[in-house]
Structure 1
Amino acid sequence: MDFIYEMPSKMLSEQPNKGRIEVLEYDSQTYDDEARILHKKALVYLPCGYDESKKYNILYLLHGGACNHNYWFKDFPETVTILDNMFAEKICDPCIIVTPTFYHDEEDQHTHDESRCENFRYEIRKDLIPAVEGKYSGFSDKNVSEENLIKTRDHRAFAGLSLGSMTTYRAAFYNNFDLFAWYGPFSGCCGPFGDHSVEVERICKTLADGKANGFDLKYMLCCNGDKDIAFEEHKDIMEKAVAKSDLLIQGQNYDFYIIPGGVHDIKAWQLHLYHALQVFFK
C-alpha cells in the first residue's frame, strides 16, 4: 500500500453522492459495582445508496478522551465528506461506520479514569453490536446471537484515536478478538503511565490464543505522527510485539503508518482513517 501524508484536496470537496448520518439509541449499563442502566447514543454513517437488501462490512470508530459519539462526524463534518468521496471514487468499498462513546454519560466525560477503556468490552459485546447489527444490514443478517456474531467477525473492524486507540487494544483486541478481525489503533497503546512489557505480552497472547481458537488477525494498521505525544510508546510496544510474535507480519497483516511531522490532531486521525479503510475488509 502506498502511504500519503496529506489528505488529497479532492477528498475534501463536497460530493453529490452523500451518505447519511443517523442517531442510534440503545440501552446499556455501566458494568461496574454501580450497575446503572444507561440510555446511550451512537452515530451511524450509512453510505450513499445504502440498501437493506445488501450486506455491509461495519467499522466501529471511537473518539478520544473527554469527547463523545459526535466527535468524528458532528464535531468534524469533513470526516463525512472524506468518506463520501472515498466511496464515490471507489478508493474502498462502501461500509457502515458507527461512532459510539465509551463514557457512561456527559458527566462521565470529565473522568480521568482510564478503566473506561477496558470496561467498554462488555458494552461492545452485549449492547452496542447487537443494537447496531439488529437494525442495520451487516453480514450478521440481523441475527445477533453471540454464535453468529463470532461467525461473522471477518466483516467487523474496530478503530479509535488517542484514548480510543487504547480502547481499541483493551476492549476490542484483547477482550473481543472473536468479534473483530481488523484493527486501527490511531495514536497510542498504553498511554504515558502504561507498562510496555505488559502490553507486548497481551498482544502476543491475544494473537496466540486467537490462532489456537481458530481466529486470525486479518489486519492491524497502527498509525501515528512522529511528533505525536503518543508516538514513542506506541512505536516501542509494536516493534517489540513484532519481534516477539510470528503472527504479526509486516505488509501481510500488520503495518505502522507514520506521518512525518504529524501531531495529535484530527488531520492526522482523518489520514489514519483514510488509510485504514483501504486495508480493512480486503
Structure 2
Amino acid sequence: MDYVFEMPAEMMVETDKKGTVERFEYDTFTYDEENKPLHKGAFVYLPYGYDKSVKYNVLYLLHGGGFTEEWWLKMFPDTVTILDNMIEKKLCEPCIVVTPTFYHGEDDKNTHDEGRCENFRHEIRKDLVPGIESRYSTFTEGDVSEENLIKTRSHRAFAGLSLGSMTTYRAAFYNNFDLFSWYGPFSGCCGPFGDHDLEVKRICETLENGHKNGYELDYMFCANGDADIAFEEHKDIMGRAVAESKYLEQGKNYDFFIIPGGVHDMKAWQLHMYHALQIFFKK
C-alpha cells in the first residue's frame, strides 16, 4: 500500500452519501462487586445505505486519556466525512465503527489510573461486543455466544490513540486475541513509565499462544509520528517484537507507519485510521 503523509483534501469534502452516527447505550456488570450495573454509552457510525440484510465488519475505535466516547465522531465530525469518502471511493468496504470509552463515567475521565487500560478487557468481552453485535448487522448474525464471537474474529478490528493505543494492546490484544484479528495501535504501547521488556514478552507470547490455539494475527498496523511523545517507546518495543517473534512479519501481517514530523494530535490519528481501514478486513 502507498502511504501518504497528509490527509488527501478530497477526503475532507462532504459527500452526498453520508453515513449516520447514533448512540448505543448498555449496562456493564464488570466493575461493581455488588452486581449493580454501570450504565454506559458508545457512538456508532453506520455507513451510507446501511442494510440489515448485509453483514458488516466492525472497527472498535478508542479515544485517548481524559476524553470519552464522543472523541472520534462527535468532537471531530470530520472523521465521519473521512469515513463517508473512503467508503464512497471504495478505499474500504462499508463497515460499522464503534467508539466506546474505557472510563466508567464522566467523573472518572480525570483518573490517572492506567489499570483502566487492562480492566476494559472484561467489558469488551462480556458487554460491549455482544451488545453491539446483537443489535447491528454483523458477521455474528445475532449469535453473540462466546463460541460464535471467536468464530467471527476476522470480521472485528480494534484500534485506539494514545492511552487508547495502550488499551488496544492490553485489553484487546493481550486479553481478547480470540475475539479480534486486526489491530491499530496509534501512538504508543506502554507509556513513558512502562516496562519495554515486559511488553515485548507479552506481544510474543500472545502471538505464540494464539497460533497454538488456532488464532492467527491478520494484521497489526502500528502508527506514530516521529515527533510524537510516544514514538520512541513504541518503535523500540515493536522493533524488538518483530525481531523476536516469527508470527509478526513486516509487510505480511505487520507494519509501522511513521509520519515525518508527525506529533501527538488528531491530524495524525485520523491519517492512521485512514491507512488502517485500507488494510483491515482484506485478506
How many residues align? The count is 282
Structure 1's unaligned 5+ residue stretches are none
Shift of 1:35: 5.8
Partners of 1:219 and 1:14 lie apart in 2 by 30
Shift of 1:29: 3.0
Shift of 1:32: 6.1
- Report the TM-score, using the length of structure 2 for normalisation: 0.98
Kept in 1: contact 2:65–2:163 (CA 8 A): yes
Shift of 1:172: 0.1
Match of 1:270 in 2: 270
Partners of 2:251 and 2:60 lie apart in 1 by 23
The superposition leaves residues 140-164 of structure 1 with CA deviations (integer Å, 9 ceiling, x where unpaired) of: 0010000000000000000000000
Q: What is the one-letter code of the residue matched to 1:26?
A: Y
Q: What is the one-letter code of the residue matched to 1:41?
A: G
Match of 1:158 in 2: 158
The superposition leaves residues 223-257 of structure 1 with CA deviations (integer Å, 9 ceiling, x where unpaired) of: 00000000000000000000000110000000000
Shift of 1:30: 4.3
Identity of aligned residues (%): 70
Partners of 1:119 and 1:34 lie apart in 2 by 17
Partners of 1:51 and 1:81 lie apart in 2 by 20
Secondary structure of residue in 2 paired with 1:279: coil
The reply on whether 1:40 has 2:40 as its aligned counterpart is yes
Q: What is the one-letter code of the residue matched to 1:187?
A: S
Match of 1:194 in 2: 194
Shift of 1:267: 0.3
Q: What is the one-letter code of the residue matched to 1:165?
A: S
- What does 1:201-280 align with in structure 2 at a 5 Å threshold? 201-280=201-280
- What does 1:24-173 align with in structure 2 at a 5 Å threshold? 24-31=24-31, 36-173=36-173
Kept in 2: contact 1:133–1:142 (CA 8 A): yes
Structure 2's unaligned 5+ residue stretches are none
Q: What is the one-letter code of the residue matched to 1:208?
A: E
Q: 1:100 to 1:279 in 2, by over 3 A?
A: same
Match of 2:16 in 1: 16
Shift of 1:36: 4.9
Give the CA RMSD over aligned residues: 0.9
Match of 1:182 in 2: 182
Q: 1:266 to 1:74 in 2, by over 3 A?
A: same
Partners of 1:44 and 1:202 lie apart in 2 by 31
Kept in 2: contact 1:30–1:36 (CA 8 A): no
Partners of 1:36 and 1:117 lie apart in 2 by 21
Kept in 2: contact 1:43–1:70 (CA 8 A): yes
